[in-house]
Structure 1
């Protein structure tokens, strides 16, 4: 089975950056193939990983479901088989990893059948990979809909903003309330100066989470993001890249 890492947190705290740096560290160690899942409707994980935006499953789900309603299927092709075939076209290949972009959320109408097929498709797909890294949508919707399940490690990302830390606390509580199958959870403080940790020590404690790591402000990451350069081109001296490597070591993803 693939080892699954999910990254959650309030919008704007740097979840996608952390997700990308996790993937880059895995690839640097030769721990591939990796399946990257961009579950955030605000799609940009592909940009940070340096590959073209693939077709979004959210769009395909609506279009394929409309086609399913029109087509008179032959005995050799079921509706579920047709949808799985269409979903396969959304898998984009990178160097050592594949990417699936979930894209926009559901529109009006019933998507139960399509979503069931999609869950089955992803369940069949994941055993082909050593690692699955999920960049979750902002907030807690993915948890309340139980789309983040069977996870080995959940990194809940926050910055020094008290609102973001409160969101991390709520996410942690929601995992318990929903009894989600998540083995380990850690708080990750992003874009932070080490000297600032003492000022928010009590707020960090209130989240109820073990602090997995502190990712420092990194001018290289800021510059690359501003210029839309992929983070895969970051030098090995990047403070953020090194901090995520330490995070993965501390949480025993890397040895």
Structure 2
């Protein structure tokens, strides 16, 4: 069974950056290949991983439907055609693969694309030793249950009081929805001092959520993010990647579950 790290948080707090750093770290320190999942309709994990996802799960639904209605389907049913098209969306890199949900084309809502992605992950995830999932921003995504079970569910927040409060609401919602996770943690992004760690500690002190640490505010990461450049280009001495490595070591060495 594959090991799964699911990352969530409100928009703009850096959850995609953390997901990309996790993929890089695992390619350097863990079994390979890694499956990276961009479960956000606003696809951007591919750029931070240095690849391009030209096709998405949401985008191939209409393709499969039109092909099933055409004369070139060769007797294949719609479900078979959809599965074939989804396999074509898998981006294969040297040490990881990427699949992206994307935005649905034509009539339909994000729920359909998410349901298809969930079905695909149920079939292919166990082909990989580790799966990293970058979830859609906000609270609603948790209810969609892109994965049935995570080994770690990590809430990402910035250092603001509003961000920390949202992270706590995400935890409360995860409990209400009975989200299955072996362990939960919180990571503070763009941290400038240690005061926010104290606030986070107080906010989560009545929960089993682990305070995994923080990523500092960093000009190089901000510039590369703005330019759509890969985290694989960060030096190993970069402050954010150094902090990220410490976070991922804590996760790996946790008594809750090991990679």
In the superposition, the TM-score normalised over structure 1's length comes to: 0.88
Q: 1:176 to 1:85 in 2, by over 3 A?
A: same
Q: Which residue pairs with 1:14 in the alignment?
A: 14
Query: Who is 1:158 aligned against?
Result: 157
**Partner SS for 2:252:** coil
3-state secondary structure, aligned to 2:37: strand
Structure 1 residue aligned with 2:239: 239
| Number of residue pairs matched by the alignment | 254
Separation of aligned partners in 2, 1:141 and 1:40: 12
The superposition leaves residues 195-254 of structure 1 with CA deviations (integer Å, 9 ceiling, x where unpaired) of 333663566437843211111112221122233321111110011111111111112267
Deviation string 1:124-181 (CA, Å, 9 cap, x unpaired) is 2111111100000001222112224311101100011222112111110111111121
Distance (Å, rounded) in 2 between the aligned partners of 1:165 and 1:113: 31
| Distance change in 2, residues 1:107/1:140 (3 Å) | farther
1:222-237 map, 5 Å: 222-237=222-237
Shift, 1:191, TM fit: 0.8
Q: Structure 2: how far apart are the matches of 1:151 and 1:60? A: 27
Unaligned residue ranges in structure 1 (runs of 5+): none
Distance 1:156 1:192, change over 3 A: same
Q: Distance in 1 between matches of 2:223 and 2:189?
A: 16
Higher mean Cα deviation, 114-123 or 145-154? 114-123
Q: Give the 3 Å change call, closer, same or farther, for CA 36–16 of structure 1 in structure 2.
A: same
Q: Deviation of residue 78 (structure 1)?
A: 3.2
- Asked if the contact 1:172–1:207 (Cα under 8 Å) also holds between the matched residues in 2, the reply is no
Contact 2:10 2:166 in 1 (8 A): yes
| Structure-2 change in CA distance of 1:42 and 1:218 (3 Å) | same
| 8 A Cα contact 2:197 2:213, kept in partner | no
How many Å separate the matches in 2 of 1:212 and 1:194?
15
The DSSP-based 3-state class of the residue aligned with 2:5 is: strand
Partner of 2:218: 218
Q: 1:106 to 1:210 in 2, by over 3 A?
A: farther
TM-score by length of 2: 0.87
1:51-200 matches, cutoff 5 A: 51-68=51-68, 77-104=76-103, 108-109=107-108, 118-197=117-196, 200=199
Instruction: Give the aligned CA root-mean-square deviation in angstroms.
Output: 2.6
Q: Following the alignment from structure 1 to structure 2, what is the Cα–Cα distance between the partners of residues 36 and 21?
A: 11
Q: The residue matched to 1:59 in structure 2 has which SS?
A: helix
Q: Secondary structure at the match of 1:89?
A: helix
- Look up the SS of the partner of 2:97 in the other structure: strand
Unaligned stretches of 5+ residues in structure 2: none
Distance 1:71 1:149, change over 3 A: farther
Deviations 1:84-128 (A, max 9, x none): 111000000112000111111576448988765543332221111
Query: 2 CA distance for matches of 1:216 and 1:228?
Result: 19
